[in-house]
Amino acid sequence: KAGVTQTPRYLIKTRGQQVTLSCSPISGHRSVSWYQQTPGQGLQFLFEYFSETQRNKGNFPGRFSGRQFSNSRSEMNVSTLELGDSALYLCASSKTLSSYEQYFGPGTRLTVT
Amino acid sequence: TQLLEQSPQFLSIQEGENLTVYCNSSSVFSSLQWYRQEPGEGPVLLVTVVTGGEVKKLKRLTFQFGDARKDSSLHITAAQPGDTGLYLCAGTQNTGNQFYFGTGTSLTVIP
């Protein structure tokens, strides 16, 4: 069974630009969560989608948004990039909304210059 | 403020030694997970514990969930270089499905 895939793996953007990251969950998994990982703040929850609806949201500004498609694939978008947005963005999938177990993809390393 | 605090933050030991990593909180969790993450990769789920006092063993790794479901520990026996990585605990609460991650413990096992 294929794991969670994320594209692209690496990305370099300039301040003020916007970026879209993609995540394909494990087949049969319907819940997708997004996290930001930085050396200073660790792993922080961005949002979770289930059945194309955002179900939970972390404490991030509105510049961070996401969506989920009918095939459970998800995208997250960051607009007006700031230097502090440089991070590893991780996507995790789980079977259902209340599942205790989630499986992570390899992440997208975003560098903002 | 992190909901889950891990200690120690860094740990460097010789191959064959034993070690324990702690994950503590003042809040109650309905479940707790442990992950290991290697550089450039996403965290890999090691175990999930859901019952207070629960102990799970995975080869040389022993995981325990505190009786009050506020803390957990990970004990590694006879550490090997392949155990090197960032160990993360994460928990969910009854109020929602959001996972809260600990501050992380970076383990280096020296051959």
Q: For B66-97, how does the pLDDT look when each residue is reduced to its tens digit (9 = 90+)? A: 999 999 999 999 999 999 999 999 998 876 56
Q: What sign does the CA torsion over A50, A53, A57, A60 have?
A: positive
Cα B103 from chain centre: 10
Mean local confidence (pLDDT), B35-59: 94
A43 with B98: Cβ contact below 8 A:
no
For chain B, the distance separating the N- and C-terminal CA atoms, rounded to the nearest angstrom, is 36
A18-48 pLDDT tens trace: 999 999 999 999 999 999 999 888 899 999 9
Q: CB contact, 8 Å: A95 with chain B?
A: no
Give the nearest partner residue to A103 out of B41, B45, B104, using CB atoms: B45
Query: Cα(B86)–Cα(B38) distance, rounded to whole angstroms?
Result: 6
